[in-house]
Chains A and B, each alone.
Chain A
Amino acid sequence: MTALLETRGLTAFYGDFQALFGVDITLARGETVAIIGANGAGKTTLMRAITGVLRSARDQILHAGTGIGHLPADTIMKRGIAMVPEGRRLFPSLTVEENLLIGAQHKGGRDLGDRIDSLFARLTGGPDPAAMAGDHDGSGHWSLETVYDLFPILRERRRSPGTALSGGQQQMVAIGRALMSNPDILLCDEISLGLAPVVIRDIYAALPRIRETGASVIIVEQDIGQALAVADRVYCMMEGRVTLEGRPDTISRDDIHAAYFGAAA
Chain B
Amino acid sequence: MIGLDTLVQGVLLGGLYALFAAGLSLVFGIMRLVNLAHGDLIVFGAYLILVVVSVLGVNPFLAALVAAPVMFALGWLLQKVVLNRTLGDDILPPLLVTFGLSVVIQNALLESFSADSQRISMGALETASVDLGPVTVGVLPLITFASAVLVIVGLNQLFYRTAIGRAFRATSDDQVTASLMGIRPDRVFATATAVAMLVVTIAALYLGTRANFDPSAGPARLIYAFEAVIIGGLGSLWGTLAGGIIIGVAQTVGAAINPEWQILAGHIAFLLVLLVKPRGLFPQGGGR
The chain A residues found within 8 Å of chain B, CB to CB, are 51-53, 72-74, 77-78, 82-83, 85, 89, 91-94, 98, 101-103, 105-107, 113, 117, 120, 177, 181
Contacts and interface: CB of A to CB of B under 8 A. Distances in A.
B183 A106 contact: yes
Contacts of A181: 181-182
B129 interface: no
B181 A102 contact: yes
Contacts of A120: 80
A117 B187 contact: yes
Given A53-B180, A77-B182, A94-B169, 20 more contacts: A52-B179, A74-B180, A74-B184, A77-B180, A89-B177, A91-B169, A93-B169, A93-B285, A98-B169, A102-B178, A102-B183, A103-B181, A105-B182, A106-B181, A106-B183, A113-B184, A113-B187, A113-B191, A117-B184, A177-B181
B174 interface: yes
Interface string B157-201: 000000100110110111011111111100100010000000000
A107 B173 contact: no
Which has the most chain A C-beta neighbours within 10 Å: B177, B187, B191? B177
Contacts of A74: 179-184
Contacts, number: 75
Interface residues of B, number: 21
Given A105-B166, A113-B187, A120-B80, A91 B174 contact: yes
Contacts of A106: 167, 181-183
**Residues of B contacting A: mostly:** helix
Contacts of B80: 120
Contacts of A105: 163, 166-167, 181-183
Which has the most chain B C-beta neighbours within 10 Å: A53, A91, A94? A91
Given A102-B167, A117-B187, A120-B80, A72 B173 contact: no
Contact of B285 (A53, A73, A82, A92): A92
B166 A85 contact: no
A101 B179 contact: no
A73 B170 contact: no
B174 A72 contact: no
Contacts of A92: 173, 285
Nearest to A107: B182
A52 B180 CA distance: 8
Contacts of B179: 52-53, 72-74, 77
B173 A91 contact: yes
A78 B80 CA distance: 22
Contacts of B176: 53, 73
A98 B183 CA distance: 14
Contacts of A107: 182
A196 to B, nearest CB: 24
B180 A51 contact: yes
A219 B167 CA distance: 27
A51 B182 CA distance: 11
Contacts of B167: 102, 105-106
Nearest to A130: B184
Given A93-B173, A113-B187, A73 B180 contact: yes
B180 to A, nearest CB: 5
Contacts of A53: 176, 179-180
A101 to B, nearest CB: 7
The 10 A-B residue pairs with the shortest CB-CB distance, nearest first, are: A106-B182, A73-B179, A93-B169, A77-B182, A89-B177, A91-B173, A91-B170, A74-B184, A74-B182, A83-B180
B181 A93 contact: no
